[in-house]
Amino acid sequence: MKLGPYDIGCTAVYALKSDPRFSYCLYVPPGYRTAPTTSELLVVVHGSPRTFMEFRDRFQDFGEAHNTIVLCPLFPVGVKGDDNPDGYKYLTEPDLRYDELLLDMVADVSKRWEIAGDRFGLFGFSGGAQFVNRFLLLQPQSLWAASIAAPGSVTLLDEQRDWWVGVRDVQARFDRPLDLAALRRVPVQALVGGADLDTAEITHREGGRYWMAGANDAGASRPDRLAALCRSLAANGVDVAHEIVPGVGHHPWPIIERSKPFLARHLSQHRAARAQETVHA
pLDDT (tens digit, 9 = 90+) per residue, 211-245?
999 999 999 999 999 999 999 999 999 999 999 99
Asked whether the beta carbons of 250 and 191 are under 8 A apart, the reply is no
Confidence category of residue 35, pLDDT binned at 50, 70, 90: confident
**Closest Cα partner for 55 from 127, 146, 261, 47?**
47
pLDDT exceeds cutoff 80 at 280? no
Instruction: Quote the pLDDT of residue 4.
Output: 92
**Closest Cα partner for 59 from 68, 48, 47?**
68
Confidence category of residue 199, pLDDT binned at 50, 70, 90: very high
The mean pLDDT value of the chain amounts to 96
**Closest Cα partner for 136 from 91, 194, 94, 105?**
91
Q: Where are the domains of the chain?
A: 5-280
* pTM for this entry: 0.97
Residue type present at position 32:
Y
Whole-angstrom CA distances from 3 to 8, 33, 117 are 8, 12, 18
173 CB burial (10 A radius; 0-12, 13-18, 19+): middle
Cα 47 to chain centroid distance, Å, stands at 11
Average pLDDT value for residue range 23-32: 95
Span 118-173, pLDDT tens digits? 999 999 999 999 999 999 999 999 999 999 999 999 999 999 999 999 999 999 99
**Closest Cα partner for 108 from 11, 15, 8?**
15
CATH topology for the 5-280 domain: Rossmann fold (3.40.50)
